[in-house]
Amino acid sequence: MLILGLIFCCMILPTQQVVNRDILSIYKKTFHGDGTFYGEGGGLKGLCQYYPPGLPPAGRSSLIRNTVALNKPQMHGSLGCGMCFKVKGSGKGAGNTPITGDFYVFVDNLCPECLEGSLDFGQDGDGRWAIEVQAVQCPVGNTKIQYSFQGSHQWYIKLQIRNHRIPITGLRLYQSKRQEWTPLKHTADGYWELDPTHEWDKPLVAPLKVQLVAANGVVLKDSIPKIENGVAIQGNVQVPYDPHLPNTE
């Protein structure tokens, strides 16, 4: 029974009905914009709310040079939180800290005034520099998706999906009494919460069965063992490598 349960929780179900073309378009071509700086540690209070418990493994990978605030047009609300980008810096611009070379960055914040293709670097620096960017699959290695709750309990859920290879753009929670998968609502700060337009089985009882929909339409089923706030809870699944999208690994 244990083996069958693990197979169920990690089953991958491809579907074409839930592809998020807005997110996928950021992987399909390169964009030109400006690279600017907003200071070391700026993401600690950023839109994506990674603190606590801190950056997920993808954001701490040795392949990632910096964290960045993503421009508003490509953030798509907060779905861009946790994305990774390849940056090419030409060194052309003005200031004292030129951006040069090819490297990867991790999104942990929003730059509301930045235009499409621009990134605001979470490091100390000076100037405005020409950059070329393209979204890439994050360097998750053999790590799994993580979950983090905020202000949650048996009557309310606010859930962050962390450490995804590409963004999770849909989330459903299984209601055992109703025997149905019910969608959660995405929040402006990168979480998922109970949608008040739906009726919910309460109190909520762990483990919570969830269905995650990736931007490319891949669907993953997982089980969250507990509701505990402010910690990274390890999942059992990961969005598989997509050969059609740029990669870091």
Q: Give CA angle at 144 (246, 154), nearest 5°.
A: 125
According to the model, what pLDDT value does residue 249 have? 66
According to the model, what pLDDT value does residue 214 have? 98
Beta partners for residue 71, in sequence order: 111
Residues of the chain with pLDDT under 70: 1-17, 249
CA distance 172 to 90: 43
Calculate the alpha carbon distances from 176 to 120, 157, 198, 245 in Å.
44, 16, 15, 36
According to the model, what pLDDT value does residue 42 have? 72
According to the model, what pLDDT value does residue 119 have? 98
According to the model, what pLDDT value does residue 2 have? 34
pLDDT digits (tens, 9 = 90+) for 65-88: 999 999 999 999 999 999 999 999
According to the model, what pLDDT value does residue 140 have? 97
pTM of the complete model beyond 0.85: yes
Neighbours of 196 (CB within 10 A): 8
- C-alpha 222: how far from chain center: 17
CA distance 4 to 7: 5
- Type of residue numbered 106: F
According to the model, what pLDDT value does residue 14 have? 43
